[in-house]
Homo-oligomer: A and B are copies of this chain.
């Protein structure tokens, strides 16, 4: 029974009926992820993990090009180490997993499964950094982290997730600030050029900043249901951790100084983001740059002489040209069934080859984004398919940008604010006094949080949209994942 169900491309709940169910339907039916026996932990299946591998490769190249190297630090953090920085432990202690026993013995000191690695890394930097010649230290780590979450959803919020965390140390605050902003820029460019997701970038409020940071910067994306998703953050830690962990260096002037640090991270959460930005009624729509399969070749009337051979030849040619491509030569499924399945799985380009196509020396390409069909001459296939993939990237980025813009509202008063958040649903841009009390009250009344104080400011007035006090800056508000 279970088998037969799986063999059919099943019904997907419409987005406008129940977006949350649509999301679950899509990620499960596209075979990206599964639930495990461990509360809040997901299994990332090969099709989902393939997306992560492409994300990793693209990001890792950008980290290297900006001078960073990868390293690996322990999974476990002694309780005393986590507790050193006061704000940090307060922020993370309530949501960590505790290791208390090793084998049959009780540990002398409890260990935390890393929720993030600032403390363990700082304890090493204190050993490694002695002189100005040791700076800057530019290290990144790809790893798993654990945060004990009460309410979880695959990719978006899970007790264990995969991420990268950059940790750098610099001679002074300005250099740390430059790095913080540079890496947020790398994230923003990556989101746009690889995930085809336009983001809003800016600074987090004091309430929303990272536990232990001097300032946190963020990139925020808009989902199709009008909720925001924080896609990555970059923190200037200032001397907070350096003072606690005693990370000092001897400067050229002969004086001992504390380093200034940054940390920045993105995670498998981005996969949830790209599903919710690009997906549609037919299922997933994968940005070509991270799609595990960019093009699928479907032999039509496969039993006819030469069809399967031609399909394989095309696959081979495209593979050599750097396209991630597969032939679907399953005999157990009809062509129609296959069309549906590859659409559900969001493969950007489908290439159909039948006897008549071969006669005409062409392939029938179908774009996943527009569903347009267009014949492509066989002899220039690598160029036209790569061109098509680029075009799809551009088209879905444009569509996502239009969606984000349409879901961005300007509120000049609190009625407008409430309407934007609760009825129209999306980002609300509004002037804000910057006070925590006001931020809390807004959240209580509307469910919206400050997403960021954007770098691109607009002057919408002089007073806070909520309390009427003087307001120096505009903020983005939204309900968020």
Interface centre among A2, A75, A104, A120 (most CB of B within 10 A): A75
Contacts of A120 in B (CB 8 A): 36-38
Are B144 and A73 closer than 8 Å at their CB atoms?
no
Interface: A123 (CB within 8 A): yes
Are B98 and A100 closer than 8 Å at their CB atoms?
yes
* Main SS class of interface, A: mixed
Return the contact of A49 from the options B72, B144, B146, B160 (Cβ within 8 A).
B72
Interface: A320 (CB within 8 A): no
Interface: A45 (CB within 8 A): yes
Task: Tell me, rounded to whole Å, the shortest Cβ–Cβ distance linking A249 to chain B.
Answer: 9
Are A74 and B38 closer than 8 Å at their CB atoms?
yes
Interface: A193 (CB within 8 A): no
A81–B36 alpha-carbon span in the complex (Å): 12
Return the contact of A37 from the options B97, B113, B123, B250 (Cβ within 8 A).
B123
Return the contact of A146 from the options B43, B75, B95, B143 (Cβ within 8 A).
B75
Return the contact of A148 from the options B42, B73, B103 (Cβ within 8 A).
B103
Contacts of A73 in B (CB 8 A): 36, 43
Known A36-B123, A74-B43; judge A113-B130 contact (CB<8 A).
no
Are A36 and B74 closer than 8 Å at their CB atoms?
yes
A341–B412 alpha-carbon span in the complex (Å): 64
A123–B35 alpha-carbon span in the complex (Å): 11
A446–B244 alpha-carbon span in the complex (Å): 51
Interface: A69 (CB within 8 A): yes
A76–B427 alpha-carbon span in the complex (Å): 37
Are A101 and B103 closer than 8 Å at their CB atoms?
no
A75–B128 alpha-carbon span in the complex (Å): 30
Are A124 and B71 closer than 8 Å at their CB atoms?
no
Range class of the A interface residue count: 35 or more
Contacts of A159 in B (CB 8 A): 102
Interface: A131 (CB within 8 A): yes
Contacts of A146 in B (CB 8 A): 75-76
A73–B43 alpha-carbon span in the complex (Å): 5
Known A49-B71, A96-B103, A332-B133; judge A78-B37 contact (CB<8 A).
yes
Are B78 and A38 closer than 8 Å at their CB atoms?
yes
Task: Tell me, rounded to whole Å, the shortest Cβ–Cβ distance linking A45 to chain B.
Answer: 6
Interface: A66 (CB within 8 A): no
Interface: A111 (CB within 8 A): yes
Contacts of A49 in B (CB 8 A): 69-72
Return the contact of A160 from the options B76, B103, B148, B162 (Cβ within 8 A).
B76
Are B75 and A46 closer than 8 Å at their CB atoms?
no
Interface: A41 (CB within 8 A): yes
Interface string of A1-45 (1 = CB under 8 A from B): 011001000000000000000000000000000101110011111
Interface: A336 (CB within 8 A): no
Contacts of A72 in B (CB 8 A): 43-44, 49, 52, 162
A124–B104 alpha-carbon span in the complex (Å): 28
Are A100 and B101 closer than 8 Å at their CB atoms?
yes
Interface string of A75-115 (1 = CB under 8 A from B): 11110010000000000011111111111100000010100
Contacts of A75 in B (CB 8 A): 41, 113, 144, 146, 160
* 10 smallest beta-carbon distances between A and B, as pairs: A3-B130, A41-B74, A46-B69, A102-B148, A98-B101, A44-B72, A100-B100, A38-B74, A103-B148, A38-B76
Knowing that A43-B74, A46-B139 touch, tell me 18 more A-B residue pairs with CB under 8 angstroms.
A2-B127, A34-B128, A36-B120, A37-B120, A45-B71, A49-B69, A72-B162, A75-B144, A75-B146, A75-B160, A76-B160, A93-B103, A96-B103, A98-B100, A98-B102, A99-B99, A99-B100, A144-B144
Q: Give 11 CB contacts A-B under 8 Å.
A: A2-B130, A34-B127, A37-B81, A46-B69, A49-B71, A50-B69, A76-B97, A93-B103, A94-B104, A97-B99, A98-B102
